[in-house]
Amino acid sequence: MSLEEWLNRPPGMDLLVREKDNTAESELFFRRALVLLGIVLAGFLAVASRLVYLQVLHHERFTTLSENNRVRLQPLPPTRGFIFDRNGVLLADNLTSYHLEVTREQVQDLDATMMELRERIELTDADIERFHKLVRRSPPYAGVPLRFRLTDEEIARLAIDLYRLPGVEIKADLTRHYPLEALGVHILGYVGRIDESELSHIDPGQYSGSTHIGKVGVERFYEDVLRGRTGWQQVETNAEGRPLRILNRTPPVPGQHVYLTVDMRLQAVAEKALDGYNGVVVALDPRNGEVLALASQPTYDPNPFVNGIDFASYRKLNTSKDRPLLNRALRGVYPPGSTIKPLMALAGLEYGVVNRHSGVYCPGFYRLPGSSHRFRDWKRSGHGSVGMDRAIAQSCDVYFYDLAFNLGIDRLHEFLDQFSFGRQTGIDLSGEKSGLLPSQEWKRRMHKHGWFAGDTLSVGIGQGYFLTTPLQLAHATAVISQKGADFKPRVLLATEDPGTRIKTLEPPRQLPPVKVKNAQFWDTIIAGMIHVIEGGTAYRIGIGAKYRIAGKTGTAQVFTLGQREKYNARQLPKHLLDHALFVAFAPADDPRIAVAVIAEHGGGGSKTAAPIARKVMDAWLLNKYDDASIAPGSPPASDDGLHGTE
Amino acid sequence: MEQNDNGKLFKLIHLDVPLLLGLLAVSGLGMIVLYSAGQQNMDLVLGQGMRLGLGFVIMLALAQAPPRYFRLWSPWIYLAGIALLLAVMAVGDISKGAQRWLDLGVIRFQPSEVMKLAVPMMMGWFFAEKPLPPRWLHLLGGVLITAIPFVLIAEQPDLGTALVVGSAGAFALFLAGLSWIIMFGITLLLGAAIPLFWTFIMHDYQRQRVLTFLNPESDPLGTGYHIIQSKIAIGSGGIYGRGWLNGTQSHLDFLPEGSTDFIFAAFSEEFGLVGACLLLALYFFIIARSLYMAAGAPDTYTRLLAGSLTLIFFLYAFVNSGMVSGLLPVVGLPLPLFSYGGTSLVTIMAGFGILMSVYSHRRTPTR
- Give the B window 325-364 contacts with A, CB below 8 Å: 325-327
Q: Which residues of chain A have pLDDT under 50?
A: 13-17, 634-646
Are A47 and B322 a contacting pair, CB within 8 Å?
yes
Domain hosting B137: range is 12-360
Contacts (Cβ under 8 Å, ≥6 apart) of B197: none
Cβ contact, residue pair A138, B181, below 8 Å: no
Cβ contact, residue pair A33, B291, below 8 Å: yes
Are A6 and B140 a contacting pair, CB within 8 Å?
no
Of B135, B254, B272, the CB nearest to A69: B254
Q: How many domains does chain B have?
A: 1
Cβ contact, residue pair A11, B231, below 8 Å: no
DSSP annotation string for B298-326: SSHHHHHHHHHHHHHHHHHHHHHHHHHTT
Contacts (Cβ under 8 Å, ≥6 apart) of A223: A213, A214
Pairing of strands A365-367, A253-254: unpaired
Residue B367 in domain: no
Q: Which helix (H) or strand (E) holds A530?
A: helix A520-533
DSSP state of A467: B
DSSP state of A194: -
Cβ contact, residue pair A36, B174, below 8 Å: yes
Residue B234 in domain: yes
Residue B49: the pLDDT is 92
Residue B130: the pLDDT is 86
- Give the B window 220-259 contacts with A, CB below 8 Å: 229, 231-239, 248-249, 251-252, 254
Rounded Cα distance, B268 and B160, in Å: 23
Q: Which helix (H) or strand (E) holds A313?
A: helix A311-319
Rounded Cα distance, B242 and B33, in Å: 13
CB contact, 8 Å: A71 with chain B? no
Exposed, middle or buried, A565 (CB in 10 Å: 0-12/13-18/19+)?
exposed
Residue A285: the pLDDT is 95
Rounded Cα distance, A41 and B255, in Å: 28
Computed from CA positions of residues A446, A452, A456, A457, in that sequence, does the dihedral angle turn out positive or negative? negative
Residue B317 in domain: yes
Exposed, middle or buried, A84 (CB in 10 Å: 0-12/13-18/19+)?
buried
Cβ contact, residue pair A12, B179, below 8 Å: yes
> Which among B94, B208, B165 has a CA at the least distance from the CA of B309?
B165
pLDDT, tens only, B265-304: 999 999 999 999 999 999 999 999 999 999 999 989 999 9
Residue A640: the pLDDT is 39
Residue A563: the pLDDT is 56
Task: Give the bridge partners for A145, in sequence order.
Answer: A101
Which residues from B are below 8 Å from A11, CB to CB? 133-136, 139, 179, 181-182
3-state secondary structure of A222: coil
A338 annotated active-site: yes
Q: How many CB atoms lie within 10 A of CB A96?
A: 11
Which residues from A are below 8 Å from B281, CB to CB? 44
Residue B75 in domain: yes
Rounded Cα distance, A425 and A538, in Å: 28
Residue B344 in domain: yes
Cis-peptide, bond into residue A298, ω within 30° of zero? yes
Residue B227 in domain: yes
pLDDT, tens only, B48-77: 999 899 999 999 999 999 999 999 999 999
3-state secondary structure of A448: coil
> Which among A374, A359, A358, A395 has a CA at the least distance from the CA of A556?
A395
pLDDT, tens only, A166-221: 888 888 888 899 999 899 999 999 998 877 677 767 776 677 777 788 999 999 99
> Which among B250, B229, B264, B232 has a CA at the least distance from the CA of B219?
B229
Residue B2 in domain: no
Residue B7 in domain: no
Residue A239: the pLDDT is 57
Which residues from B are below 8 Å from A36, CB to CB? 171, 174-175, 291, 307, 311
How many CA within 13 A on the CB side of residue B346?
12
Q: Which residues of chain B have pLDDT under 50?
A: 1-2, 93-99, 104-107
Are A258 and A222 a contacting pair, CB within 8 Å?
yes
pLDDT, tens only, A497-544: 998 999 999 998 999 999 899 989 999 999 999 999 998 888 898 888
Residue B105: the pLDDT is 44
Rounded Cα distance, A481 and A522, in Å: 9
Cβ contact, residue pair A9, B135, below 8 Å: yes
Rounded Cα distance, B255 and B232, in Å: 9
Determine which one of A338, A420, A439, A458 is catalytic. Answer: A338
How many CA within 13 A on the CB side of residue A573?
2
Residue B191: the pLDDT is 83
